[in-house]
Structure 1
């Protein structure tokens, strides 16, 4: 990007494809994200914490949407399954933060042969930086819900069905709110 005589370097996130200004934020080899995208995710977490009364109920959803959008090739199979499980439980079953975290624990102790899920080429139009730029708490809440829904819908139906079935098979019904 050029603005007058100043040149600003940018980088494209390999996971969500966001084009963001380069940052000295540290890389994380465990996740398929640029340093700039990891910084945006950290900034969104900070915003969430500043507005915890309004946004706290979306904490697990934010983490699951981000991880489902940034799956690294060769990562442990449990990662995308858990990210999609969280999206499924919140978006389709009405489950909250504690329900999803409990389900993750139950699933981790009940299964050791995770399906191999490969992230689609496109993982939703919105990114964590878009959510952060949405405005105040109400706008960020709406953007976060839209973002999570887009990420969930971007995964192939057969992968979503595998996660639905695995979740229903392993997680007691009391953790589903609808």
Structure 2
């Protein structure tokens, strides 16, 4: 995907506000995202796979940052909870891919009264497009970490505290690095 210019029609993603050139990517009802933004997310996954040795440890973080930034109000309530849980576990508990996925499985099988989380008007300034176009693998790694932290920190304190409480209540201590 190329950066938007004045000669092409563009779209504005409702989740992250990225302005991107129109594409033929299919709709993505799971996320509050334009097809164009979903295409960028797919390209970012491809970049991650091409650079798996360096970026593989950020796989779940990338998924959760995108999910936390593109909350669809009509999607199941578990989605934003899991996205924020992954961000919390990475940034505040030091947990990686496997621990977060394990926590998601445990949570899904032990709880079902998920709160409805409404994202703030702005869910971080950086977008998946900013990460994808950051430059070298080192630059992408740095941008991805900054993007994910922005998404986590943009959510209201009360929502982040709720995620902390639910996670500590439902997830065994063995899933936390710190």
TM-score normalized with structure 1 length: 0.96
- Cross-structure match for 2:26: 26
Aligned residues: 175
1:1-178 matches, within 5 Å, as: 3=6, 7-178=7-178
Q: C-alpha offsets along residues 75-99 of structure 1, whole Å, 9 cap, x if unaligned? A: 2110000000000000110000000
Shift of 1:115: 1.1
How much has 1:2 moved relative to structure 2?
A: 5.5
Cα separation, 2, equivalents of 1:44 and 1:117: 26
Structure 1 unaligned runs (5+)?
none
**TM-superposition CA deviations, 1:113-155 (whole Å, max 9, x none):** 0111101110000000000010111110000000000000000
Give secondary structure in 1 for the equivalent of 2:145: helix
- CA distance in 1 between partners of 2:169 and 2:118 (Å): 22
Distance change in 2, residues 1:161/1:2 (3 Å): closer
Detail structure 1 runs of 4+ shifted over 4 Å in the superposition: none
The residue matched to 1:40 in structure 2 has which SS? helix
CA distance in 1 between counterparts of 2:99 and 2:51 reads: 21
Give the match's secondary structure for 2:11: strand
Q: Give the TM-score of the pair, scaled to structure 2.
A: 0.96
Partner Cα distance (1:142, 1:36) in 2: 23
- Alpha-carbon distance between aligned partners in 2 of 1:23 and 1:130, rounded to the nearest angstrom: 18
Cα deviation, residue 73, structure 1: 1.2
Unaligned runs of 5+ in 2: none
Matched residues in 1 for 2:5 and 2:106: separation?
Answer: 51
RMSD: 0.9
